[in-house]
Amino acid sequence: MNRNTRTVLNDQEYPTASYLEETMDPDNWDALRQLAHRMVDDMLEYLEDARKVSHWKQIPAEAKSFFKRPIPRQPVAVEEVYQDFREFILPYPFGNTHPRFWGWVAGTGTPIGMLAEMLTAGMNTNNVGFEQIAFHVERQVIEWFKELLGFPASASGLLLSGSSMGNLIGLTVARNTQATTDLRRTGLQGEPAPLIFYASAETHSSVFKAIEFLGIGSAAVRVIPVTEQYRVDVDALRQAIQVDRTAGRTPGGVIGNAGTVNTGAIDPLEQLADLCRDEGLWLHVDGAFGALAALAHEFQHLVQGLERSDSIAFSLHKWMHMPYGLGCVLVRDEELHRNTFALTHDYTSRLGGGVASVHAEASDYGIELSRGFSALKAWMSLRAYGADTYGHMIAKNIHQARYLADLIESDRHLELLAPAELNIVCFRYNPGGMTDNQLNKLNENILIQLQERGIAVPSHTKLGDRLAIRIAITNHRTKQADLEAVIEGVLGIAGAAGTPDAKALE
- Residues contributing to the site for ligand PLP (CB under 6 A): 104-105, 162-164, 204, 206, 259-261, 286, 288-289, 315, 327
Q: How far is the CB of 167 from ligand PLP (least distance, A)?
A: 6
∠ CA 243-248-251 to the nearest 5 degrees?
65
Q: Which is nearer to ligand PLP, 311 or 315 (CB)?
A: 315
Q: Are the beta carbons of 405 and 422 closer than 8 angstroms? A: no
Q: Which is nearer to ligand PLP, 164 or 363 (CB)?
A: 164
Q: How far is the CB of 316 from ligand PLP (least distance, A)?
A: 9
Instruction: For residue 168, give the H/E element and its range.
Output: helix 163-178
Integer-rounded Cα radius of gyration of the chain: 26
Burial of 288 (C-beta count, 10 Å sphere; 0-12/13-18/19+): buried
Q: Which is nearer to ligand PLP, 105 or 158 (CB)?
A: 105
DSSP state string for 295-319? GSGGGGGGGTTGGG-SEEEEESSST
DSSP state string for 181-246? S-HHHHGGGG-SS-EEEEEETT--HHHHHHHHHTTS-GGGEEEE-B-TTS-B-HHHHHHHHHHHHH
Q: How far is the CB of 223 from ligand PLP (least distance, A)?
A: 15
Q: Which is nearer to ligand PLP, 139 or 209 (CB)?
A: 209
Q: Which is nearer to ligand PLP, 82 or 104 (CB)?
A: 104
Q: Which is nearer to ligand PLP, 100 or 470 (CB)?
A: 470
Q: Which is nearer to ligand PLP, 327 or 489 (CB)?
A: 327
Q: Are the beta carbons of 35 and 79 closer than 8 angstroms? A: yes
Q: Which is nearer to ligand PLP, 129 or 259 (CB)?
A: 259
Q: How far is the CB of 32 from ligand PLP (least distance, A)?
A: 34
What distance lies between CA 99 and its chain's CA centroid? 19
Q: Helices 234-246 and 269-279: crossing angle, nearest 10°?
A: 20
Whether omega before 354 lies within 30 degrees of 0, making that bond cis, reads: no
Q: How far is the CB of 472 from ligand PLP (least distance, A)?
A: 8
Q: How far is the CB of 62 from ligand PLP (least distance, A)?
A: 31
Q: How far is the CB of 286 from ligand PLP (least distance, A)?
A: 5
Bridge-based pairing state of the strands 6-9 and 195-200? unpaired
Q: How far is the CB of 259 from ligand PLP (least distance, A)?
A: 6
Burial of 496 (C-beta count, 10 Å sphere; 0-12/13-18/19+): exposed
∠ CA 346-351-355 to the nearest 5 degrees?
100
Q: Are the beta carbons of 416 and 426 closer than 8 angstroms? A: yes
Q: How far is the CB of 285 from ligand PLP (least distance, A)?
A: 10
Q: Which is nearer to ligand PLP, 305 or 500 (CB)?
A: 305
Q: How far is the CB of 160 from ligand PLP (least distance, A)?
A: 9
d(CA 269, CA 303): 7
Q: How far is the CB of 335 from ligand PLP (least distance, A)?
A: 26
Q: Which is nearer to ligand PLP, 286 or 307 (CB)?
A: 286
Residue with the shortest CB distance to ligand PLP: 162
Grouping H, G, I as helix, E, B as strand and the rest as coil, residue 102 is strand
Q: Which is nearer to ligand PLP, 291 or 439 (CB)?
A: 291
d(CA 303, CA 299): 8
CA distances from 361 to 55, 131, 167, 295, 344 (A): 41, 9, 21, 29, 9
